[in-house]
Amino acid sequence: MEAFLPIGILFLFAVMLCAGIYVLTNLLGPRIFQKNKLSTYECGVQNPLFETNARLPFKFRFYLVAVIFLLFDVEGAFFLPWALVYRESLQLGANLLIAMLVFSVFIILGLIYVFQNNYLNVD
């Protein structure tokens, strides 16, 4: 646990850098008030609608990508401890190899399912 202390120090330095950026921006930049600057960027629309929230319609594709990413991330996180002990365990037989092959079969089935039904592309 002591090995992680320098990371905390690095974090403090990073926060100081970001704060420094903010302070410098506020000190050094001019501030000229113009009405147009207050509006967000809209191509071609002269007077953007100030009161609406500019949000998108729901796109399922993004949601599905997030869900499928979550599941495959968990699967990838299972590969990591397996990989750590794999090479040593080979002295004791093919147990881990079979275990991982079985695991991969299900994951590959999941991948094939996602692809066959085209979940990531069109929707």
Partner 1 sequence: MREVFFMIFSIFTVLAALGVVVSRHAIFSAFSLVLAFFGLAILYLLWGTSFVSMLQILIYTGAIVVLFVFVVMLLDLKKEETLDSAKTGPLVMAGLSVWFFSLLILRALNRATYFKSTNVEAASDIKSISTLLFSKYLWGFEILSVFLLALIVSACVLARAEYMERKADQ
Partner 2 sequence: MDLTELSIVSIKTLLIYVAFIQVVPVMIWVERKGAALIQDRPGPNRVGPFGVFQPIADALKFLFKEDPVPKEVNRLLYNLGPFLILLPSSLIIAAIPVGDRVELFGRDILLQVADIDVALLFFLSISSLGVYGILFGGWASNNKYSLLGAMRSSSQVISYEIPIALSAANAVMFYGTFSLRQMVMQQEGVLLGFLPNWGIWFQPIGFLVLFVALFAETNRLPFDLPESEAELVGGYHTEYGSMKFAAFFMAEYINLATASALLVTLFFGGWHVPWLSDSWLLLKLGSQNVVALVQVAMFLAKISVLLCIFVWVRWTVPRFRFDQLMHLAWGNLIPLGLANIIVTAILLYFFEGR
Interaction residues for partner 1, span 55-94 (CB under 8 A): 55-56, 58-60, 62-64, 66-71, 73-75, 77-78, 81-82, 84-85, 89
Partner that binds at residue 16, options partner 2, partner 1, none, CB closer than 5 to 8 Å by kind: none
Site map 20..59 versus partner 2, x via CB under 8 A: -xx-xxx-xxxxx----xxxxxxx------x--xxxx--x
For residue 58, the 8-state DSSP code is P
- Is there binding between residue 94 and partner 2 (CB under 8 A)? yes
CB atoms within 10 A of CB 113: 10
Tokens 């420094």 belong to: 20
Q: Which residue from 54, 67, 76, 55 is spatially nearest to 114, judged by alpha carbons?
A: 67
- Kindly state the smallest distance separating residue 122's Cβ from partner 1, in Å: 10
Task: Please tell me what DSSP assigns to residue 57.
Answer: P
Q: Amino acid identity of 83? A: A
Pairwise CA distance, residues 68 & 75, whole Å? 11
> Residue 39 Cβ, how far from partner 1 at the closest point, in Å?
20
109 binds, among partner 1, partner 2, none (CB under 5 to 8 A by kind): partner 1
